[in-house]
Amino acid sequence: MKYLFPRQPWDRALVAILVALFTGFCILTPGFYDGFHGTLAITEEFLPFGFVALGLSVVILTGGIDLSVGSISGLAAVIMAILIKSYGLNTWLAVLLAVGAGGGLGWLNGQIITRLRVEPLIATLSTNFIYSSIAIALAGASPPYGFGHAFGELGTGAIAGWLPVQLVIFIVMAIGFSGLITRTGYGRRLVMIGYNRDAAHYAGVSVASVERRAYCISGVMAAFAGIVLASYYDAVRADMGDILLLTSITMVVLGGISIFGGEGGILGVTLAVMILGVLRQGMLIAGFSDMVTTMLIGAILLSSIAIKNLFSSRGFDLGSIIRRLSSLRPPERMASKS
Amino acid sequence: MSNAATAASQPGHRAKPRPRRRELREVTLLIAIFAVVLGVGVLRPSFMSFSNIEFMILSSVVLGLAGISQTFVIITRGIDLSVSAVLGLSAMVFGLLSTTSSMPLWQALPLCLAMGAVLGSFNGFLVAWLKIPPIIATLGTYSLYGGLTFIYSNGLQVDQVSPNFAAFGNGNLIPGLPVPTPVLALAAVAAAAWFVLNHMKFGRNILAIGNNAAAAYNAGISVRRTLLAVYTISGALAAFSGLVFVAYTGSATATTGTGDHVELQSIAIALIGGTAIAGGRGNLAGTVIGSVFLSVVITALVFLQVPAIWYSAGEGLMILAAVTLGARRSSKA
């Protein structure tokens, strides 16, 4: 039991928020708790945000940002639809090629950032609009739809009738990303670059190549999210991914990954994905408009960074003040730990 | 102009006076504008007509105002994505007020500036006091202000404005002088901004912060208050450009500004005009000429029947080109 419980205070707070939010919606919103399977199926509505958030975490850990995730997911879905509809390619081969194309677009971001030395936010802001123009041009006037039953299983299927396929994929991927960041040399180099770029450079880390791969990973995950969305709706729209960006960045930041890079882990991001997903769907079920929900998510984005800055040792450092105050009373601290 | 800027950048490291570079940027842009006008004018003669040229200059005013507001923010090493949302909100609010409660222009103008200043100062508070990176802070407020526009509009849209708004947007302020009022407004704002940036202590503080915020702080500049002022000015200018937009076009919807990606356009204008994305260097003349350039290029694309979906891709490419081809400081790693 001790190992199941998160050790970081930030993650513990997230667990508490998640439990409170979920219970609150179950009690207060009629129609939110829809049986065990029905409630699990809610995750299908928001896990595409989670896939993007996982990829984005890698980029934000290096201290960069990828604003082009929304258009990459739209473009990848459009590419997949065209490969299936116009070229009659096998569905899963088309999915593979589209995910590869997403990786290619992310790699291009990385090339622009590292070779041309454009700041990440400017580079990905520009490519965001370039990619979305290409997606709209490729998609044409009538959005493609109808990709068959087997493909639909990716977005809406459930294993044994109750466990959503998306949730299984998300959990596997989250464990994979967690392993990538904490257990591999590449992951440690990522965090080091985010923590101190110059130190990483002088320690012999090839900063540019690590960064290029990070943007490539982000592109792959964005493309995958686009394909899951296409499967969920059984249709493709070029601007499908536009809603992904704000919520995904919020998930990463609320999850405890420092927006300046070098801090945080995947466990927090996973919890934040669940929190924001439950919040979003709960509010939509309770009858709030999409605009109000988006505004609330924007507010959460700002306040979570503000709170983190207040406590962080790089910011106002409220955390160490509290720690110093609480260490004046050691017995109480021991009691709370056990 | 260059004297004040180089004087301000003296305390910063590797500051070398570049006497000719800034004029070069403006001359290049002007040549590019004439080349586009002549080139497209040969293919489509109506492009060179007086009414079209007047249209292009008029439509560059909104862009130019948004670009000036963005220039100030970029000089401080920041970025303001919420300009388009503030522009849209102000266009919606005052467009509706002018028709539903027939608010006269002289009331709308100060209210609009005040509203923009409040929205902008919230950005400034987030950036300066809560230390949220500008890109994230303004991305958050972009969604907040964009949502406010939707809520305020409540499904309505502006399709006509009161006569005194329309007179401000399309008429001539000085009788006999064939210069539309918005162009005069842009000229006044640009001149004031140029004076503030190059001849006032406040402007030199902005440049110093953009060059090196830590050094500026150590030199006794109140970094937080200066940043707050910069974002406030940016918000007020964005709201003013929204007012000009609704007065000029007579229409506004809930996606005005955000739908046209004005934030992207304003960043493109500032960077094309020679403002350094790394901060510490701004070129207001370049921004104004850049807004005319963007307006001319977009109109040229319309005349050449390029589909509208490619415009934002073109603006993205322009930003990348301006950042990579422009005078780039040597950066590490």
Neighbours of A40 (CB within 10 A): 15
Are B120 and B232 contacting, i.e. CB atoms less than 8 angstroms apart? yes
Q: What is the mean pLDDT of residues B69-84?
A: 94
CB–CB of B140 and A302 under 8 A? yes
| pLDDT at residue B118 in the model | 96
Question: What is the SS3 assignment for A22?
Answer: helix
Are A226 and A73 contacting, i.e. CB atoms less than 8 angstroms apart? yes
What whole-number distance in Å separates Cα of residue A7 and Cα of residue A274?
Answer: 18
Are A221 and A66 contacting, i.e. CB atoms less than 8 angstroms apart? no
DSSP 8-state class, residue A205: -
Domain count, chain A: 1
pLDDT class of B79 with cuts at 50, 70, 90 = very high
Residue B243 domain-assigned (yes or no): yes
Residue B130: its chain A contacts at CB < 8 A?
302, 305-306, 309-310
Q: What is the mean pLDDT of residues B116-140?
A: 93
Residue B77 domain-assigned (yes or no): yes
- What amino acid occupies position A286? A
| pLDDT at residue A117 in the model | 85
Q: Which of residues 59-88 of B touch A (CB under 8 A)?
A: 79
Encode A75-106: b = buried (16+ Cβ within 10 Å), e = exposed. Answer: bbbbbbbbbbeeeebebeebbebbbebbbbbb
Residue A337 domain-assigned (yes or no): no
Residue A307 domain-assigned (yes or no): no
Note whether A274 contacts B: Cβ–Cβ < 8 A: no
| pLDDT at residue A114 in the model | 93
B6, pLDDT greater than 50? no
pTM of the model: 0.85
| pLDDT at residue A209 in the model | 94
Residue A310 domain-assigned (yes or no): no
What whole-number distance in Å separates Cα of residue B58 and Cα of residue B54?
Answer: 6
Q: What is the CATH number of the domain that holds B102?
A: 1.10.3470
Cα A53 from chain centroid (whole Å)? 1
Residue B42 domain-assigned (yes or no): no
Q: What is the mean pLDDT of residues B97-104?
A: 84
- What amino acid occupies position B60? S
- Cα angle, residue B84 at apex, residues B82 and B87 outer, rounded to 5°: 110
Encode B175-188: b = buried (16+ Cβ within 10 Å), e = exposed. Answer: eeeeebbbbebbee
Residue A130: its chain B contacts at CB < 8 A?
312-313, 316-317
Of B147, B264, B333, the CB nearest to A125: B264
* pLDDT tens profile B266-325: 999 999 888 888 888 888 999 999 999 999 999 998 888 888 888 888 888 988 888 887
B259, pLDDT greater than 90? no
Å between B171 CA and nearest CA of chain A: 35
Each residue's pLDDT, cut to its tens digit, for chain A (338 residues) gives 455 567 778 888 899 999 999 999 888 888 787 777 778 888 888 999 999 999 999 999 999 999 999 999 999 999 999 999 888 888 899 999 999 999 999 999 999 999 988 889 889 999 999 999 999 999 887 778 888 888 888 888 888 878 899 999 999 999 999 999 999 999 999 999 999 999 999 999 999 999 999 999 999 999 999 999 999 998 888 888 888 999 999 999 999 898 888 888 899 999 999 999 999 988 988 888 888 888 999 999 999 888 888 877 666 677 777 777 777 655 544 444 44
Residue A306: its chain B contacts at CB < 8 A?
126, 130, 132
| pLDDT at residue B330 in the model | 38
B228, pLDDT greater than 60? yes
Token pair 């088309």 is found at A94
DSSP string covering B132-184: --HHHHHHHHHHHHHHHHHHHHTT--B----HHHHHHHHSBSSTT---BHHHH
How confident is the prediction for chain B on average, in pLDDT? 85
Higher pLDDT, A37 or B68: B68
Domain count, chain B: 1
Residue A308 domain-assigned (yes or no): no
Q: What is the CATH number of the domain that holds A24?
A: 1.10.3470
Residue A112: its chain B contacts at CB < 8 A?
320
Q: What's the domain range around A166?
A: 9-289
Residue A159 domain-assigned (yes or no): yes
| pLDDT at residue A310 in the model | 81
Q: What's the domain range around B265?
A: 21-36+53-325
- Six token digits for residue A166: 């998306």
C-alpha pair distances (Å), A306 with each of A139, A303, A322, B133, B154: 40, 5, 17, 10, 31
Residue B29 domain-assigned (yes or no): yes
| pLDDT at residue A313 in the model | 66
| C-alpha distance across the termini of chain A, in Å | 13
Of B130, B144, B320, the CB nearest to A306: B130
- What amino acid occupies position B324? T
